[in-house]
Amino acid sequence: MTDSPVTKGDDAREPRLVLGIDLGTTNSLAAIRAGSEARVLRNQQGEALIPSVVCYQPDGKTSVGSAAKALRLEHPDRTVSSIKRLIGKSFADAEPDVAKLPFAVVASERNLPRVAIGDDRHSPEEVSSLILREVRRTAELAVGRSLHEAVITVPAWFDDTERQATKDAAALAGLDCLRILNEPTAAALAYGIDGGKDGTVLVYDLGGGTFDVSVLRIQDGVFRVLSTAGDTHLGGDDFDALLAQRILATLPERARDSVNEDPYVLQAVNQAAESLKIRLSEAESAELELDLGDRGIAKVTVTRPEFEAAIAPLVQRTLDCVQRAIADAGVGLDAVGDIVLVGGSTRVPLVRSRLESFCGKPPHTHVDPDQAVALGAAIQADVLAGNDRSLLLLDVIPLSLGIETLGGAVQKLILRNSTIPTSVTEEFSTGVDGQTSVDLRIFQGERELAQNCRQLGNFQLAGIPPMPAGLPRIAVTFLVDADGVLRVTAREQRTEVQAGIQVSPSFGLTRDEVRRMMLESLEHAQDDFLAREAIEQRQKAEAMVRGTRQALELAELPPDQIYSVHKAVKALDRLLADNADAKALNAGCEELTKVTATIADDVISSAVTKALREEQENS
Ligand code: ADP
Ligand code: MG
């Protein structure tokens, strides 16, 4: 099982604290939940957002966060931002992004992107780890404890390599990443959508440079991403660029051209544009006066309607993506129960109002959109830390999964409430000599007998060479992936014969059904125990009858003993034929054991006598 609740904390008496980290393209931050409320962790200046920026200064020092952002004007080619665009990608895949970045990126021998600062080369994992280290340091100062574990979020569309690279970055930062969580899932959690109610959620995430929209399906407490859409080059930076043009337009033409060639001034204009934009989220109009030295003074007033007219086409592009995501999810807009806002740019009033009229219902706005992802990660982190038992159905298997074994009992491989993804392998064998195939029936439920559980599927493992019962070694693996899909495979270890099946996600049970099956298992615990005991007792009796009969053929016993053993075996066989209960079978087995116990001695002494006799004859 994954995520074992081993405490790494320095003090065993303190609750285990696991950080929730939103490692963003523009900004990163951490949150924690201790007790009922999750909260973001702030630095001494009261800031929660840490700009995802690293500056490699010429003197060898590295700065991270706001300090690095401030140095961007001074060292534009030594200041690394938007590293999330490169992490886990090949150089070829990263190339379109690389062209737009203000610092140099080169290909390594293995064709991976490396940030080039002078002669130094830095991997995206390394740069990300510096950001994570800063997030961790800020968090440790805020809680007054050292912290080693985290849940880190990534976009839903990140592939395995991108997720793994994010984990590697965490390890470099001294953090054990307990779980990589999808950003939209985290956001939904932060808004109180905790899997307690089935439904469909639309997550609209407009950040600094990226736009992501996801449709989530929540069923039986499991979150599944039905679809994602978006634009990796659409965000608040584009709003800034439009305002920057407005600012530049106020300069004389000659000065304007020279500004475009000076990255320093361009940066200053962009930063002024961003502050103008942020003020326009609250005010109906905003003014700006920016002294550009000998290029003149840029002076503008922008009204909200002017700003909105400028950005309207960009906002429309996000809505086109929403439409696509809804279509890809195979649901209608009317099926969407909750709309969740994420990302700093959803503070722009036009974004909210357009989205609302497009969807026909208002989005939730009670969580700070900058913080939603980190807060959700903190909730998940707290669950993984084992501090929250009420949220057990989140990303866990609702009912145990197992296979039917000889006699109709269910052997559980994955237990209820195991967190997913998870995988368990157990070895089984055949019950009959020369058996060349086995039927594997997969069951879900808490009861002991297959007949009281729910069959999810079955398949056959054929082509096993004939061997005595018990000799084939059949490894059965149950694997539940992060989306809740169960794959079962069976493999005979000696011959490598293999077969498998995939079972549909979420296993088609409603939450009420899960609850009912749980209650039933408690109610019937006693019956089940007895039924299972009867099966086991029966198997034991059958084995004894078989074994004793074989021994009788081999051993040389005096006729009176053969008679008494035969009698006991026959009695037990009779009980089996009559379907006797466990108690009677147990008595029969004990009787047979008593009789054979004396034979064991006798067989030895007769063998000894025989050996002695032969020796005497030879001498
Ligand atoms: P990311 O997920 O890409 O790291 P964030 O969610 O932190 O990004 O969003 C950053 C963007 O949000 C920036 O473009 C920033 O200017 C914008 N932003 C932050 N606050 C506001 C606001 N009050 N009004 C408009 N835009 C804002
Ligand atoms: Mg974000």
Q: pLDDT tens, 147-198?
A: 999 999 998 888 777 888 898 999 999 999 988 888 998 999 999 887 778 8
> Which residues are close to ligand 2, an ion, with C-beta < 5 A?
24, 207
pLDDT average, residue stretch 587-613 = 65
Measured from the alpha carbon of residue 207, the closest ligand is 1
**What pLDDT is recorded for position 598?**
64
pLDDT average, residue stretch 446-459 = 85
Q: 61 in helix, strand or coil? A: coil
Residue 497 and residue 538 in one domain: no
Q: Where are the beta strands (DSSP E) in 41-166?
A: 50-51, 54-56, 62-64, 79-80, 104-107, 113-117, 120-122, 149-154
Q: Does any ligand 1 atom lie closer than 6 A to the CB of residue 51?
A: no
For residue 209, give the ligand 1 atom closest to its CA: 3
Residue 131 and residue 229 in one domain: yes
pLDDT average, residue stretch 578-606 = 75
pLDDT average, residue stretch 365-373 = 95
Average confidence score pLDDT of the chain: 85
**What pLDDT is recorded for position 39?**
96
Residue 613 and residue 486 in one domain: no
Residue 273 and residue 324 in one domain: no
Q: Does any ligand 1 atom lie closer than 6 A to the CB of residue 125?
A: no
Whose alpha carbon is nearest atom 10 of ligand 1? 208
* Amino acid identity, position 576: L
Whether the model clears a pTM of 0.75, i.e. scores above it, the answer is no
Residue 121 and residue 261 in one domain: no
Lowest mean pLDDT across 330-334, 358-362, 449-453, 514-518? 514-518
Q: Is the per-residue pLDDT at 211 higher than 90?
A: yes
Q: Does any ligand 1 atom lie closer than 6 A to the CB of residue 344?
A: yes
Q: Is the per-residue pLDDT at 486 higher than 90?
A: no
Q: Where are the beta strands (DSSP E) in 103-254?
A: 104-107, 113-117, 120-122, 149-154, 176-182, 199-206, 211-219, 222-231
Task: Say if residues 442 and 457 touch (Cβ distance below 8 Å).
Answer: yes
Is 7 among the domain residues? Answer: no
Q: Which domain holds residue 457?
A: 397-513
Lowest mean pLDDT across 109-123, 211-225, 309-323, 508-522? 508-522
Whose alpha carbon is nearest atom 12 of ligand 1? 344
Residue with tokens 């009559």: 578
**What pLDDT is recorded for position 5?**
37
Q: Does any ligand 1 atom lie closer than 6 A to the CB of residue 26?
A: yes
Q: Give the separation between CA 413 and CA 399, rounded to whole angstroms.
A: 11
Residues in the chain: 619
pLDDT average, residue stretch 587-595 = 84
Question: Residue 451's domain is classified under what CATH number?
Answer: 2.60.34.10
Q: Does any ligand 1 atom lie closer than 6 A to the CB of residue 274?
A: yes
Whose alpha carbon is nearest atom 7 of ligand 1? 27
Mutate to test the pocket of ligand 1, among 26, 28, 281, 353 (most ligand atoms within 8 A of CB): 26
Q: Does any ligand 1 atom lie closer than 6 A to the CB of residue 354?
A: no
166 C-alpha to ligand 2 centroid (Å):
15
Is 254 among the domain residues? Answer: yes
For residue 274, give the ligand 1 atom closest to its CA: 16
Q: Given pLDDT bands bounded at 50, 70 and 90, which one contains residue 245?
A: very high
Residue 42 and residue 56 in one domain: yes
pLDDT average, residue stretch 460-472 = 88
Q: Is the per-residue pLDDT at 143 higher than 90?
A: yes
Q: Is the per-residue pLDDT at 570 higher than 70?
A: yes
Q: Does any ligand 1 atom lie closer than 6 A to the CB of residue 232?
A: no
Is 493 among the domain residues? Answer: yes
Q: Of 110, 105, 106, 107, nearest to 80 (Cα)?
A: 105
**What pLDDT is recorded for position 337?**
94
Residue 56 and residue 171 in one domain: yes
Count Cβ atoms below 10 Å from residue 305 Cβ, excluding itself. Answer: 11
Residue 403 and residue 359 in one domain: no
**What pLDDT is recorded for position 393?**
33
Q: Give the separation between CA 47 and CA 54, rounded to whole angstroms.
A: 17
pLDDT average, residue stretch 315-335 = 93
Of 294, 311, 328, which one is at a domain's C-terminal end?
Answer: 311
Whose alpha carbon is nearest atom 22 of ligand 1? 278
> In whole angstroms, how far apart are CA 545 and each of 64, 575, 581?
75, 11, 17
**What pLDDT is recorded for position 29?**
98
Mutate to test the pocket of ligand 1, among 243, 278, 280 (most ligand atoms within 8 A of CB): 278
Give 58-91 pLDDT, tens digit per residue. 999 999 999 999 998 888 889 999 999 999 888 9
For residue 210, give the ligand 1 atom closest to its CA: 3
Residue 372 and residue 256 in one domain: no
**What pLDDT is recorded for position 131?**
98
Hey, what are 75's tokens? 């060292």
For residue 343, give the ligand 1 atom closest to its CA: 6
Where in the sequence numbering do the catalytic residues fall? 22, 84, 183, 205
How much of the chain, in percent, has pLDDT values that exceed 70?
87
Q: Does any ligand 1 atom lie closer than 6 A to the CB of residue 281?
A: yes
Lowest mean pLDDT across 99-103, 406-410, 479-483? 479-483
Q: Is the per-residue pLDDT at 579 higher than 60?
A: yes
Q: Is the per-residue pLDDT at 565 higher than 90?
A: no
188 C-alpha to ligand 2 centroid (Å):
13
Is 11 among the domain residues? Answer: no
Q: Given pLDDT bands bounded at 50, 70 and 90, which one contains residue 610?
A: low
Query: What is the tally of structural domains in the chain?
Result: 4
Mutate to test the pocket of ligand 1, among 345, 352, 365 (most ligand atoms within 8 A of CB): 345
Q: Is the per-residue pLDDT at 468 higher than 80?
A: yes
Q: Give the separation between CA 541 and CA 534, rounded to whole angstroms.
A: 10
Q: Given pLDDT bands bounded at 50, 70 and 90, which one contains residue 319?
A: very high
Question: Residue 293's domain is classified under what CATH number?
Answer: 3.90.640.10
Whose alpha carbon is nearest atom 20 of ligand 1? 344
Is 13 among the domain residues? Answer: no
Task: Say if residues 193 and 338 touch (Cβ distance below 8 Å).
Answer: yes
Residue 227 and residue 253 in one domain: no
Q: Give the separation between CA 78 and CA 120, rounded to whole angstroms.
A: 11
Q: Does any ligand 1 atom lie closer than 6 A to the CB of residue 370?
A: yes
Measured from the alpha carbon of residue 53, the closest ligand is 1
Q: Given pLDDT bands bounded at 50, 70 and 90, which one contains residue 417?
A: low
Is 3 among the domain residues? Answer: no
Of 342, 362, 393, which one is at a domain's C-terminal end?
Answer: 393
Q: Is the per-residue pLDDT at 567 higher than 50?
A: yes
**What pLDDT is recorded for position 507?**
43
Residue 244 and residue 365 in one domain: no
pLDDT average, residue stretch 34-62 = 94
Q: Given pLDDT bands bounded at 50, 70 and 90, which one contains residue 13?
A: low
Q: Give the separation between CA 293 and CA 265, rounded to whole angstroms.
A: 10
H or E segment at 582?
Answer: helix 582-618
Of 356, 373, 393, which one is at a domain's C-terminal end?
Answer: 393
Report for 162-176, 489-503, 538-552: range of highest mean pLDDT: 162-176
* 603-609, long-range: CB < 8 A, 24+ apart: 603/555, 603/557, 606/555, 606/556, 606/557, 606/558
- Helices (H), ranges, 194-347: 236-249, 253-260, 263-280, 304-329
H or E segment at 492?
Answer: strand 486-492
Mutate to test the pocket of ligand 1, among 27, 82, 238, 352 (most ligand atoms within 8 A of CB): 27
Q: Of 223, 159, 234, 165, nearest to 189 (Cα)?
A: 223
Whose alpha carbon is nearest atom 2 of ligand 1? 207
Q: Does any ligand 1 atom lie closer than 6 A to the CB of residue 207?
A: yes
Q: Given pLDDT bands bounded at 50, 70 and 90, which one contains residue 10?
A: very low
Question: Residue 104's domain is classified under what CATH number?
Answer: 3.30.420.40
Q: Give the separation between CA 42 and CA 39, rounded to whole angstroms.
A: 9
Residue 410 and residue 365 in one domain: no
**What pLDDT is recorded for position 272?**
93
**What pLDDT is recorded for position 4?**
36
Report for 110-114, 368-372, 573-577: range of highest mean pLDDT: 368-372
**What pLDDT is recorded for position 505?**
39
Is 519 among the domain residues? Answer: no
Is 604 among the domain residues? Answer: yes
184 C-alpha to ligand 1 centroid (Å):
16
